[in-house]
Chains A and B, each alone.
Chain A
Amino acid sequence: MSVRPNTRPAGQKPPFWRDRAKRALIFQLLLTAAVAAFLLYIVGNVQDNLSARGITTGFGFLSNTAGFGIVQSLIDYSSRDTYGRTFLVGLLNTLLVGGFGVLAATTIGFIVGIARLSPNWLLARLATAYIETFRNIPLLLQIFFWYFAVLRALPSARDSLSFGEVLFLNVRGLYLPEPLFESGFGLIPVTFLVAIVASVILVIWNRRRHEATGKRLPAIWISLALIFGLPLLVLLATGVPVTWDVPELRGFNFRGGFTIIPEFLALWLALSIYTAAFIAEIVRSGIQAISHGQTEAAQALSLPRNLVLRLVVIPQALRVIIPPLTSQYLNLIKNSSLATAIGYPDLVSVFAGTTLNQTGQAIEVIAMTMAVYLTISLLVSMFMNWFNARVALVER
């Protein structure tokens, strides 16, 4: 430990403030004490303030009647339900817009990112313009633009924009025909599941056979045919037990069909377009990170072009793409909380907004809301870490 010329008598230990381990221990104890004192101070203040305002703490309010309606809900909800149920409704709405946003953003992002690398000059420039425009404008501004300037400016129900007399778009939202399933329809999801299981078995068997004998079937195409063809066959064989409930204009509004509220549309569009600009950049840099020598080496082994992409370029590019892609997905889900600005009933809007205002239980409500986002973040990053470990480079 000591580097200096030893001036101490032999056998005597250095003073404790010169010993790195002891110093670290003391410092950490002091830090812990400081943090604990700070937390106690805050807790004390909170208790004083709450008792001064006559607010009781605890989660009992979750079983009180909410008394307000929610415009979109995936589960049955009415204003007679409890605050606990509003939490659930908000959470499901957040997950809904997050899930659809991730799908759309990934699709647009990959298309734009690949287009940016296109040999076609015009296409590459258009993709660049898309990226530079949308990622440099605040998301909230884009949400406002889509909501107030586009969707709120649409005509009223009587003058709706009609697409083939089945889709209608007006200021109240997008009206779609809704499938109504008749008695024999239960067979089709069952067939669908069976087809998926069969495809998984086929893919595994095909991989084993390929490794053992070198022979392979076009398993992907066969499974696609199974998954989509088999239910279709059953559908036709049972005489198409589905009727479509097409929305119809009655009086001042549409009846029937399925409605997507404009708040959802605006939020979904803005989130997807904004995040797609970032994903496109990630995809571009991921593909560019793979050196051209990899492609050339694969071609030298006379792999066909589709296999060069599938077996050489894409697996390596994915390794670069996935970590930043994960953080974009998380950003998208966190950004969906901007819903509160246009009144889409997501978790923050319904729970940290209306419920908080009605009950005044600020600490419980904000803690629950933050806990949800933290849990989603942790789950997604755990899944992505697992996936990342699977595709990571195995160095020998």
Chain B
Amino acid sequence: MIHNQTMINQRPAPTNTIGPLAWLRANLFSGPINTLFTLIGLYVLYLLVVPTIQWAFINADWTGTTREDCSREGACWVFVKARFSQFMYGLYPRDEVWRANIVFAGFFALIAWLAIPRMPFKRWVAVLALVGFPVAAYVLLHGGYFDLPRVPTHRWGGLMLTLLLASVGMIGALPIGIVLALGRRSNMPIVKSFCVIFIEFWRGVPLITVLFMASVMLPLFLPSGISVDRLVRALIGLTLFQSAYMAEVIRGGLQAIPKGQEEAAAALGMTYWKRMGLIVMPQALKMMIPGIVNTFISLFKDTTLVMIIGLFDLLGIVQAALSDSNWLGFSIEGYVFAAFVFWIFCFSMSRYSQYLERKLNTGHKH
């Protein structure tokens, strides 16, 4: 029996456990050591953030076209502005830049379509992105067809080249990676050992030696008289290197599928390729997407290495611009700009992969 009269009225929580002050006490000043850490942290933050903001924004020069427009007290973003189209397209002819712009627009539109969960016709768009778009992009960028003037690959550069290297490396590595992963899980000893040797070889050597190999040794491997474009050589190296990492991601995804799935398919009389293509792969691919995005991020960062074999990707073109005698002494601005562009891409991709991981996780908890 409850006596309403004797009920004590509800009271608000004690003031020292709610509100911003309590939050501060709990999270920043909960003891002498914690307080010390907070003070050190604040000091470090002060040392880092204040000069950075002053340099990058308050004292920075934004307008003008030559180095005389820079006061040299803060960052000289005029340099980046003056070089912006080079940083984006490399030495691509100015009159033809619209072609690169169309490819950029198509690229980002396809990526956005595939990345946003609500969009329909995912499968067809994926086929378009993996097969149709690369062909169209090649025709547009390289020219030589439909009255488009030819633009040789050594004039391609900047962010365009970075994206191109990463995407082609990725699209090329996906089928090779699938075959290698299936081969590594195969029961056939010779197939398995070939795949293991192939994968472990590429994973054991640094990308830079692979690129050296592609640029120095590939011409030796081909019959004399056949010369391969430098960009194509780099792409071959990147694709083979990436396919080994891709194979390991795919193998991880395949291992996550319970064996019962394949056994059930075999019990229904499906052949190997039907079991893999209709039962195992569709389930595994979905779980692999975060891993694939992660390897794509590292491939994207690794494309910067092509500047060592003489291609002008974003970092290569920034580095080349820094040695321009009209613009000496702006290396920090150049690097900060390049770092910012890379960071935006990599950070958004890693956030997307984390989001996917969370999303896929809930679907697979039994």
Contact = CB atoms under 8 A, between A and B. Distances in A.
Nearest to A139: B301
B304 A141 contact: yes
Contacts of B27: 119-122
Given A24-B187, A31-B191, A356-B216, A120 B38 contact: yes
Contacts of A42: 221
B338 interface: yes
Contacts of B343: 133, 136-137
A338 interface: yes
A356 B338 CA distance: 31
B212 interface: yes
Contacts of A145: 332, 335, 339
B335 A370 contact: no
B209 A362 contact: no
Interface stretch (B98-106, B152-160, B200-208): B200-208
Contacts of A157: none
B115 interface: no
Given A121-B28, A335-B206, A46 B342 contact: no
B224 A136 contact: no
B219 A137 contact: no
Interface string B301-339: 110110110000001000100100000000110010011
Interface string A144-158: 110011000100000
A369 B209 contact: yes
Nearest to A48: B224
A337 B206 CA distance: 7
A14 B321 CA distance: 71
A142 B304 CA distance: 11
B273 to A, nearest CB: 13
Contacts of A334: 205-207
A48 B223 contact: yes
Nearest to B222: A45
A340 B307 CA distance: 11
B347 A132 contact: yes
B144 interface: no
B315 A140 contact: yes
A374 to B, nearest CB: 4
B324 to A, nearest CB: 14
B193 to A, nearest CB: 10
A352 interface: yes
A90 to B, nearest CB: 13
How many residues of B sit at the interface, in one of the four size bands? 35 or more
Contacts of B213: 366, 370
Interface string A344-385: 000010001000100000110010011001100110000000
Chain B contact residues: helix, strand, loop or mixed: helix
Contacts of A148: 322, 331, 335
A32 B190 contact: yes
Nearest to B210: A370
Given A122-B37, A149-B335, A31 B209 contact: no
A126 B205 contact: no
Q: How large is the interface on A (under 10, 10 to 19, 20 to 34, 35 or more residues)?
A: 35 or more
Contacts of A373: 204-206, 209
B204 A366 contact: no
Contacts of A337: 206, 208-209
A35 B193 CA distance: 13
Contacts of B307: 140, 341
B301 A348 contact: no
Given A46-B220, A50-B220, A138 B30 contact: no
A299 interface: no
Contacts of A236: none
A3 interface: yes
Contact of A3 (B194, B204, B269, B350): B269
Contacts of A253: none
Contact of A126 (B41, B322, B335): B41
Nearest to A49: B220
A149 B187 CA distance: 54
Nearest to B348: A136
A74 interface: no
B42 interface: yes
B346 interface: yes
A141 B190 contact: no
Contact of B335 (A135, A144, A341): A144
A123 B37 contact: yes
Contacts of B205: 334, 370, 373-374
A391 to B, nearest CB: 22
A118 B208 CA distance: 38
A337 B224 CA distance: 31
Nearest to B41: A122
Contacts of A144: 315, 319, 335
B191 A28 contact: yes
Given A118-B37, A366-B216, A45 B221 contact: yes
Contacts of A35: 194
A338 B38 contact: no
Contact of B301 (A46, A138, A370): A138
Given A31-B194, A126-B41, A362 B34 contact: no
A366 B304 contact: no
A148 B334 CA distance: 11
A228 interface: no
Contacts of A141: 304, 315, 335, 338-339, 342
B188 A28 contact: yes
A320 to B, nearest CB: 16
B45 interface: yes
Most chain A beta-carbon neighbours within 10 Å: one of B30, B187, B207, B308? B308
A377 B199 CA distance: 13
23 contacts: A3-B269, A35-B194, A45-B223, A45-B224, A48-B223, A120-B27, A126-B41, A126-B45, A138-B315, A140-B307, A141-B335, A148-B322, A153-B331, A337-B206, A340-B208, A340-B308, A341-B308, A348-B209, A352-B209, A352-B212, A362-B220, A363-B217, A369-B209
Closest 6 CB pairs of A and B: A136-B346, A121-B27, A334-B206, A377-B204, A138-B301, A28-B190
